[in-house]
A and B are shown apart, each in its own frame.
Chain A
């Protein structure tokens, strides 16, 4: 049986981290509070209001066909089913109406790397944009973009990332998807743990209504430049409103996949400490998988969680 690190034990790696931050207590037991200068007192981001973070993971074997072709109709069904489950509504239109209003200006923030290969699949983007439109938002007020998204104009954001292990941040999912809302994205690369502050930027704060993760063909190797051996067809979509919980669960799944690939532990490195910091320091959501309510729908084979 593996030995577990006792709760509260300070290891030398913790010590080094603590020393680097200037205060060990902050690193291990940070009590949070709004860390970003300029954030309004008393205002807490949406996820902190949730009594429990809920994540819906839906998988469908038919989402990806021959030649790794994504089936757009199946993807639409998956997103609708996940959102109905997440919202508690029996009807997809009513489910979307809980998160998007006709008067909103909606940013659909996806991931697109021009020459690289792991980006949000167009079928996922199209499915989200379609439902936002059907919720009454006119096309000229739906901004589906990666770079250049007019964040200041948006009253609502839907975070639509892909999933990839990343050489500079550990993992890139919902948290990192907002990195280019910052004028200095590289400052959030490891060992920085402050990525959560992007969600508290004045133009971003409190606008994220949903996170819809393209977990169809994630990447578990050191991205963003890919080795196709490190890409796998997971056939999944994840829906939540908690970017921290989403990142935490995706991290777990990718870690399991890496270990399976190598046949021995292959730790994700650098460790994405920004996920825990997003909870403890920035109060953006839940990072402890044991405290996240995961609802699993559909195909269970090789779910890895």
Chain B
């Protein structure tokens, strides 16, 4: 994730093609407050106390339009421009509650909120309250926006190393930094995995024969940083002495669950909350095999 330079806000607003395709009126809803645009510098003016979630990805700006109609819930369209399709996908995975709908490259709808991603764009369209009419407008606007995004983008390659067997699909997350990890899963109040904007993390939960586990696959920019993080996890989380080059054995923790770490080149495979040691070994082996095949 390399942060990019931002051009002038007014110029973006004037030239943003997805703004041009939005209708001034939809089923009686008309544009409310003036269109807004927030960049990395002022995203907190829009998401006070929560902008960090977007800044943790290579977010460039968000365009916001409000639709209002007397006696009806207001509808807010948010179009997030990311610098990569991988990060558009990542932001999309931040919250997976809702029902899958066929839109863009992945979409979820629930209780008036539509979320989808396509190429480098992530979109949220929310009605203050769900009514049949409001839902129709939300879906209509979403379809229009998705149709105006010309191409598809790549999903993060990292998620392909995760096996499909046993995967709880709604648990899959893709991110870079500690703030995102903490938002989903709390390992510690220090950055023991050395996460940074340069790291990539795919995290998911699995269930096999009633037994569960959580796995994180972390890609580091260099082998040295992966080794360092492996040592920190071994010593600070597993409380095991670490010798670089020697395998760290899985460990049964105080809660009766197993945890472990394995390194394959620039990648770490971290398993926690495993009900069975054999499940931990199973998923570590599969991901290792997948990583070997990738020849990073």
Chain A residues in contact with chain B, CB under 8 A?
3, 5, 9, 11-13, 15-17, 19-20, 67-68, 113-117, 166-168, 172, 179, 185-186, 189-191, 221-230, 267, 269-271, 273
Chain B residues in contact with chain A, CB under 8 A?
46-50, 52-53, 64, 76, 94-95, 97-98, 110-113, 124, 126, 128-130, 179, 182-186, 188-190, 192, 236-239, 253-256
Query: When the two chains form the complex, which single residue of B52, B113, B190, B236 contacts A168, counting CB atoms closer than 8 Å?
Result: B52
Chain A residues near B64 (CB-CB < 8 A): 115
Known contacts A12-B239, A20-B189, A229-B111; A67 and B47 CB within 8 A of each other: no
Chain A residues near B124 (CB-CB < 8 A): 225
CA distance A222 to B190 in the complex (A): 21
CA distance A191 to B239 in the complex (A): 21
Known contacts A13-B188, A191-B182; A224 and B95 CB within 8 A of each other: no
Known contacts A116-B48, A167-B183, A271-B186; A228 and B112 CB within 8 A of each other: yes
Give the shortest distance, in Å, between B231 (CB) and chain A (any CB).
Answer: 14
**CB<8 Å pairs between A and B, sample of 7:** A5-B254, A12-B236, A168-B52, A186-B52, A190-B182, A225-B53, A227-B95
Which residue of chain B lies nearest to A164 when distances are taken between CB atoms in the complex? B49
CA distance A158 to B83 in the complex (A): 44
Which residue of chain B lies nearest to A262 when distances are taken between CB atoms in the complex? B97
Chain B residues near A16 (CB-CB < 8 A): 188-190, 192, 236-237
Known contacts A12-B253, A113-B48, A115-B47; A222 and B188 CB within 8 A of each other: no
Which residue of chain B lies nearest to A117 when distances are taken between CB atoms in the complex? B128
User: Given contacts A3-B255, A228-B111, could you give 5 more A-B pairs where the C-beta distance is less than 8 Å?
Assistant: A15-B239, A17-B189, A191-B190, A225-B47, A227-B113
Taking a contact as CB atoms under 8 Å apart, the answer to whether A115 and B46 are in contact is: yes
Give the shortest distance, in Å, between A81 (CB) and chain B (any CB).
Answer: 29
Taking a contact as CB atoms under 8 Å apart, the answer to whether B189 and A190 are in contact is: yes
Known contacts A117-B128, A269-B183; A229 and B236 CB within 8 A of each other: no
Chain A residues near B192 (CB-CB < 8 A): 16
CA distance A203 to B225 in the complex (A): 46
Taking a contact as CB atoms under 8 Å apart, the answer to whether A270 and B182 are in contact is: yes
Which residue of chain A lies nearest to B183 when distances are taken between CB atoms in the complex? A167
Taking a contact as CB atoms under 8 Å apart, the answer to whether B254 and A116 are in contact is: no
Which residue of chain B lies nearest to A166 when distances are taken between CB atoms in the complex? B49
CA distance A269 to B111 in the complex (A): 24
CA distance A221 to B98 in the complex (A): 12
Known contacts A115-B76, A172-B49; A12 and B113 CB within 8 A of each other: no
Taking a contact as CB atoms under 8 Å apart, the answer to whether B186 and A168 are in contact is: no
CA distance A12 to B238 in the complex (A): 8
Chain B residues near A230 (CB-CB < 8 A): 97
CA distance A227 to B128 in the complex (A): 10
Taking a contact as CB atoms under 8 Å apart, the answer to whether A228 and B50 are in contact is: no
Taking a contact as CB atoms under 8 Å apart, the answer to whether B47 and A227 are in contact is: no
CA distance A230 to B50 in the complex (A): 16
CA distance A190 to B254 in the complex (A): 24
Chain B residues near A229 (CB-CB < 8 A): 97-98, 110-111, 113
CA distance A113 to B47 in the complex (A): 8
Taking a contact as CB atoms under 8 Å apart, the answer to whether A20 and B98 are in contact is: no
CA distance A191 to B49 in the complex (A): 15
Chain B residues near A271 (CB-CB < 8 A): 186
Taking a contact as CB atoms under 8 Å apart, the answer to whether A12 and B254 are in contact is: yes
Chain A residues near B76 (CB-CB < 8 A): 115
Taking a contact as CB atoms under 8 Å apart, the answer to whether A20 and B188 are in contact is: yes
Which residue of chain B lies nearest to A6 when distances are taken between CB atoms in the complex? B254
Chain B residues near A114 (CB-CB < 8 A): 46, 48
Which residue of chain A lies nearest to B94 when distances are taken between CB atoms in the complex? A222
Chain A residues near B237 (CB-CB < 8 A): 12, 16
CA distance A190 to B186 in the complex (A): 11
Known contacts A16-B236, A189-B52, A229-B110; A222 and B126 CB within 8 A of each other: no
CA distance A167 to B186 in the complex (A): 11
Give the shortest distance, in Å, between A65 (CB) and chain B (any CB).
Answer: 13
Which residue of chain A lies nearest to B259 when distances are taken between CB atoms in the complex? A12
CA distance A224 to B43 in the complex (A): 13
Chain B residues near A11 (CB-CB < 8 A): 254
Taking a contact as CB atoms under 8 Å apart, the answer to whether A227 and B183 are in contact is: no
Chain A residues near B238 (CB-CB < 8 A): 12
Give the shortest distance, in Å, between A79 (CB) and chain B (any CB).
Answer: 25
Taking a contact as CB atoms under 8 Å apart, the answer to whether B49 and A113 are in contact is: yes
Chain A residues near B113 (CB-CB < 8 A): 226-229
CA distance A224 to B54 in the complex (A): 12
Chain B residues near A224 (CB-CB < 8 A): 47-50
Taking a contact as CB atoms under 8 Å apart, the answer to whether A227 and B97 are in contact is: yes
Chain A residues near B98 (CB-CB < 8 A): 227, 229
Give the shortest distance, in Å, between B56 (CB) and chain A (any CB).
Answer: 10
Chain A residues near B112 (CB-CB < 8 A): 228
